[in-house]
Amino acid sequence: MGTASEPSFAPSGGTGELAGRMGPEATRTFAKREQSATPLRDVNRCAVRPADLIAHRGYSVLVTDTRGRIGSGMEGFYLHQTRFLSRFEIKVDGTAPSFVSANVVDHHFMTAYHLAPSPAGRGAGPTPEDDSSTGGEIVQKGIEVQVNAFCGGGLRLDVIVTNHAMVEAEITLSLDLAADFADLTEAQSGKRQQQALVERRWSDGEASGAGESEGEIELRYQHPDLDLATRIRLSGGDELTDLGNAVACRLSLRPQEPRLASVEVVPVFQGEVVEPFYGHDGSFPPDAPATQARRGWVEGCARLSAANPAVQVAWEQAVSDLASLQLLDGPGAEPFMIVAGMPNYTGLFGRDAYVAALQTAALNPATLRGALQAVSRWNAQTTDDHYDAQPGKVLHQREQGPLAQLGKTPFLHYYGDYSTPGLFLLAAAADLAHTGDLEFFRSLRDKLLGTIEWMEKNADSEGFYPYLSRSPQGLKNQSWKDSGDAVLYPDGRMVKNPIAMADIQGLYYAGKQAIALAFAAAGEPSRADQLLAEARALKQRFNERFWMPDERYFAMAPTRTNARSEP
């Protein structure tokens, strides 16, 4: 497989223009970029999770310590919030090598460097003039171990061992690998809510045509209700030996020779085998569906060329960051849907997907189409209080980790958010405005009407839309401010549900206005008139009920006793 690089983003060469859509020649390049006229040296840089290194792609996340190791806390390789690799440590001839550096190179790629003593001792370097000499640094640092990790689907680890000595060396590289199948929530808290034995099996593989050894570890989770396993394929070296808790790889190294030992971590998630997306040195199949989907998205992006280099860099980085959060999975435009955040929010979050898509629709409306296809597929059809589900309600989040699969949380498909229905209306209207695709809009018609009907059924006697959790494990607060203590009286007392939050009323007002125009464009003027009238009436009620004349601003929410929860 040849090495390829993913398409990404670069300026068009003009200045001060918003070019049409990116062409297939678009590539990301940082070479020869002119110095910024407004350097950012005085800006405080934000360090997110400074104790961790994080690489990610789609539903896959790799979290290591700052030395690139996996062994404690929430470190590990995850797919669908499930930890498929909970330990990864390397030793050279039985001793941990000295750490040099580790960095995240790209969103999906991190690398780490280590040094170990040469087994040749004083003979590793030039003959010392003094018999008492230890041979210098080449003796203590003659063996270099570079670990390149590529995260996507499964996990690809390239372990490159180089002998910098002047003589041949033979070393034993041991790889300690384990999996515990913890839920991400369990890994973060350190408290297991589900646990089972892990069965370990080793099988020798046939030597490759180049004489490299091969073998495989299967770590099978013995939980009766979870079909989970980790297959670890190893190749490289002169001989692979299973040590029970690790694998030893014997390597004969000529002077200045690098040799590769590769590790492929292949999750088996609920019976589905998920292969690593990346091959050796980060290569990937140019004809793979995910590759083609990404290329098509890039070609459809608006292109900005700015006179100010700082603006140009900020734009390119923002586009690259957005693309790194794409699912790259599913039919139609679903691969372009944005996950909510790394490393905690890799599930399907309806509210976050719609907000991100609406905010970036000018860059590429395909992101908006992907969010609509992926999220609307989960619109509720039945009532189920465990999931806060009611017909027409829009998905808040879908997680697939062990706790959700076992019903220990309601998040397998959870509907406890009242902002997402309004965002669904806004997103559908925005898609039509950007694309003019009436056929797609009409394909959403029944779901849109179901959501509007749900909204009206859940309005209170004043015509507002208060939230109320019905799930014993659900969220108390179901607006944008969704932490448990987010809605308080001015004196600090907790506001009891149901609560009609100002942001929810605003979203439903905007959603009804926008979707009314979409229905008008689709040839339903009477429905459009009705929705516009409902929006006007909601605005009038809101201004009368939420406005606090003494304070001269709107309340965050009114209560039945006319006390106000202030922002």
**β-sheet bridge partners, residue 91:** 174
Instruction: For the beta carbon of residue 403, count every other beta carbon within 10 angstroms.
Output: 21
**Which CA distances in Å does 233 have to 55, 133, 247?**
21, 43, 11
- To the nearest 10°, report the CA torsion of 403, 404, 408, 414: 150
- Coil, helix or strand for 47? coil
Tallying the residues shown for the chain, one arrives at 567
What is the reported pLDDT for 562? 43
Task: Please choose, from the candidates 483, 333, 470, 316, the residue with its C-alpha nearest in 3D space to the C-alpha of residue 393.
Answer: 470
What is the reported pLDDT for 458? 95
Pairwise CA distance, residues 490 & 488, whole Å? 6
One-character DSSP codes across 481-511: S-STT-SB-TTSPBPPSPB--HHHHHHHHHH
Query: Are the beta carbons of 555 and 548 closer than 8 angstroms?
Result: yes
Looking at this protein, which amino acid is placed at residue 465?
Y
Tens place of pLDDT for every residue, the chain, 567 residues? 334 443 333 333 333 333 333 333 333 333 333 344 445 555 566 677 888 999 999 999 999 999 999 999 999 999 999 999 999 999 999 999 999 999 999 999 999 999 999 988 877 776 555 555 555 778 889 999 999 999 999 999 999 999 998 899 999 999 999 999 999 999 999 999 999 999 999 999 876 656 688 999 999 999 999 999 999 999 998 999 999 989 999 999 999 989 999 999 999 999 999 999 999 888 887 777 777 888 889 889 999 999 999 999 999 999 989 999 998 888 999 999 999 888 889 889 999 999 999 999 999 999 999 999 999 999 999 999 999 999 999 999 999 999 999 999 999 999 999 999 999 999 999 999 999 999 999 999 999 999 999 999 999 999 999 999 999 999 999 998 899 999 999 899 999 999 999 999 999 999 999 999 999 999 999 999 999 999 999 999 999 999 999 999 999 998 764 445 555
Pairwise CA distance, residues 497 & 489, whole Å? 13
Bridge pairing between strands 109-116 and 60-64: unpaired
Give the model confidence (pLDDT) of 438-495 as tens digits. 999 999 999 999 999 999 999 999 999 999 999 999 999 999 889 999 999 989 999 9
Pairwise CA distance, residues 339 & 325, whole Å? 6
**Which CA distances in Å does 434 have to 301, 331, 364, 431, 521?**
13, 21, 9, 5, 13
Pairwise CA distance, residues 324 & 118, whole Å? 40
Pairwise CA distance, residues 384 & 473, whole Å? 13
Rg (CA), the chain: 28
Pairwise CA distance, residues 441 & 425, whole Å? 11
**Which CA distances in Å does 368 have to 57, 106, 332, 355?**
19, 25, 12, 9
Pairwise CA distance, residues 123 & 127, whole Å? 7
503 Cβ contact partners less than 8 Å away, ≥ 6 residues apart: 419, 479, 480, 481
Place of tokens 């040296």: 41
Query: Are the beta carbons of 425 and 515 closer than 8 angstroms?
Result: yes
Pairwise CA distance, residues 369 & 81, whole Å? 25
Going from the N-terminus, what domains does the chain have, and what CATH number goes with each? 53-280 (2.70.98), 289-485 (no CATH)
Geometric angle at alpha carbon 376, from 288 and 506, rounded to 5°: 130
Ramachandran sector of residue 99 (left: φ over 0; alpha: ψ -120 to 50; beta: rest): beta
**β-sheet bridge partners, residue 259:** 161
Pairwise CA distance, residues 244 & 396, whole Å? 44
Pairwise CA distance, residues 71 & 176, whole Å? 10
- Coil, helix or strand for 309? helix
234 Cβ contact partners less than 8 Å away, ≥ 6 residues apart: 175, 214, 215, 216, 217, 240, 247, 249, 261, 262, 263, 264
Distance from the first to the final alpha carbon of the chain: 57
Q: Name the percent of the chain in helix, strand, coil, to the closest 5.
A: 25, 30, 45
Instruction: For the beta carbon of residue 226, count every other beta carbon within 10 angstroms.
Output: 18
Give the HSE-up count for residue 321: Cα atoms under 13 Å, Cβ half-sphere.
11
Tokens read off for 166: 């002047």
**Type and span of the H or E element at 357:** helix 350-359
Task: Please choose, from the candidates 329, 331, 346, 348, the residue with its C-alpha nearest in 3D space to the C-alpha of residue 290.
Answer: 329
Query: Are the beta carbons of 493 and 559 closer than 8 angstroms?
Result: no
Task: Please choose, from the candidates 542, 556, 424, the residue with its C-alpha nearest in 3D space to the C-alpha of residue 481.
Answer: 556
